[in-house]
A and B are shown apart, each in its own frame.
Chain A
């Protein structure tokens, strides 16, 4: 996965900066709390939520356990319906395939409906390098693109921007990309939305090539599903002559009937609506309606490596609803950018290090970007035990061990920066298995307690910067136990 934002610092550093940005924190707090309470209401409306959640989990788990079979079935049904299937092992290959397909149409611009997979692989930049301009058409994505910014939320990628900032971005940048913003544009949301409508409509009406992702792919029928609100998805899926969909291999469900689970749980978990304004499904191509050429690019890019991890593979159940972001106390304060990936929040903290591996500093830090409070697990509509995976990945970061990269088993070295932690644990193990040495050490510690520093030097400094060191007791517990016979004799 090439989606690391270039030059991204590790999470603690990025988060440290973000928490001092008062505007960002204000915007985020407002957003997450609003969606959070609306979601709780929408979920309470359906009495069988727990059963739907369990069914969603089981469908996804079953699919992942037989993924090769369903991938082949999907390929057959998409092909039978008039589509062409391409396989991409990594980001570079996917980008190459898409660029090639666009070039074959003779076009030099494409319209895109928000797709996390194409963000993950950096498709826009790859197309730009080939002389193809990709226009993001989701309002939030447009704000991000025009602002030369990065998305910070799965569902509402520009949530870190307030209306004043958006107005300024539109007024300044729209003319660079096409129709300029109207004169005297104010910062009311309806006026801003109207400006986006006019700006984008020009592009939709002339577009010959559309690029999309998909929320679901049905193996049985070859049907793809896109769930959205604005209609930009419908524009991209129906007006162009050629449609290219780039979709992660984990987005499969076996049957048409399975959609009945996810079309109930996704909207309520995500936008807290009974149903999102628009859902489009298409099966290959349809004569005289919509694109006459359809390409499906099936993307691996670290997904099979994630699948190989028996604990971590449950992250592939994710349906990208973003409920976990909105309840996360860490996300609320640190903001989406700190996660250094298109997948922010709790799900990002377990997905990015698995898709990309934990070699980089940011990826090694992500499993620690959590208080392990468990709220993310509670709200997850497919019951991903995010805390369990976080703890599992922390172990992998500290201890190293067997993992899979690009399909090969490799033994990971412990990540850098955790040497002190590891050394401390090793020392503890030795001390606890050598009682004599432990006793001597404890007595020494008690006798010298007046001289102990309040903070740790060297590698322990970061740990003690935010904590007080525990005071060493005047007498070691074991000495006290022996002296008083476990408290029976008179204590001091």
Chain B
């Protein structure tokens, strides 16, 4: 068994920031991560980081833009704290050596970004995430913080009190990928989940292969509710064969979208007559898919993004890395040909319910980064707001877990925060097949932390053994079925029948998952086993997304419903919550906070 004060699971931007903060608070911290830290997906972020740094800008304005961007599904206390803390965090990053792009006077450059009323997006070329990730890992090395890399965290060691709000988290169970060793990690003060996105629930995503929603699924099974899971952002310009992202910058510079008839459809079919290609991400995504569905797509799949008319000089000056991406990943020369693009899953606005200090309803369990839902982004995340989120809420979670005095949170969490207790009919009977509902929480409501941990370790060792020893079907069959149905049915366009179909497919996936086994019997670097365990998590998050989408009968932000073409504020300014409830998912709602101690927000039409 390993023992530390604070255990941070995941070493992307959020995990690294949390670890540094906890360390500065005097805690003995360890990072446990399934990839080496510099391999985390934060490294893929391109555009930049928002923070009100300059004269003429103010955190209030940043907060207002964020609330409006969220389509009034963000919580004011989270948004205000975020906008207030972001400048300090970004300057600190600069003090840690981050190689930001520079202005003539030597200060970090800022540029305009969609939905921002001030050019407040600080950036480092078109590789902001790469630099942020490396800069923070360097600071972790400097502080000598312990890193367990290539350790896959399979579950949490949580007591099994009836009410999740009485439960305590005492640590995590890790599987060492190199050796197959299963060990307990005891956290004396707290566990912080910073495991990143869940894009792998879809078969077409900008997310890395490692983004399988592990944190969401683990917290969910331990009794922490998942919040607003239906809110998935799709990006309109991803490469069809891989999902690699082509930055919004191409359209920003004047790139044009064409259908198979070489029509400039954004204008000619009137999807966004004022903004054309520069309409918001959800609008462009819907337009592209409508073209494809109406038979005007290229190879029935994608549309063309053309930047040739910008001229070689301008392209090389501002969009050089786009040329590399198109060439390396699609074999297309952007100077000579238009680039194929289609919408792809990009970001999860929802996630593990937590408050402004990263705390969940389970004592000692925290969440930060894309896996968490504070809730900051509501129904729609603005570009450049995810990276400052990692910094702000990573730091707060780290400090809190290490025992710092924190101001009491305004956001409340857990089942007792619900606004419509019991009287919500779930649209379908959820959780029909609960693959292994016994692994909800470890036994031991009344026993010593070590026993809770040992019990959980024992359970995981047995699970690993049985995967390795038994014969059965390969996880890849289950995984690809779920990914396909999600892309087919829970995509940009959502209709009741399709959502129900997706739920049936996910159920079928759960059933088949019970027969899954690992073909590779090796204990050495068994990626087959890791992927098999991840697939279980994909099933859980896919179900949560689909259930949430079926329940939300309105059109808000990224969530479009064929049957409900309006934002319905009177009824739907509330968060969709889903609790695992020992294998019988329960749906309930929680009020959105449009008021904080600093601001009160009035819902307005979101038009750009």
Q: Are A and B associated in one complex?
A: no
**Which residues of B does A touch, CB under 8 Å?**
none
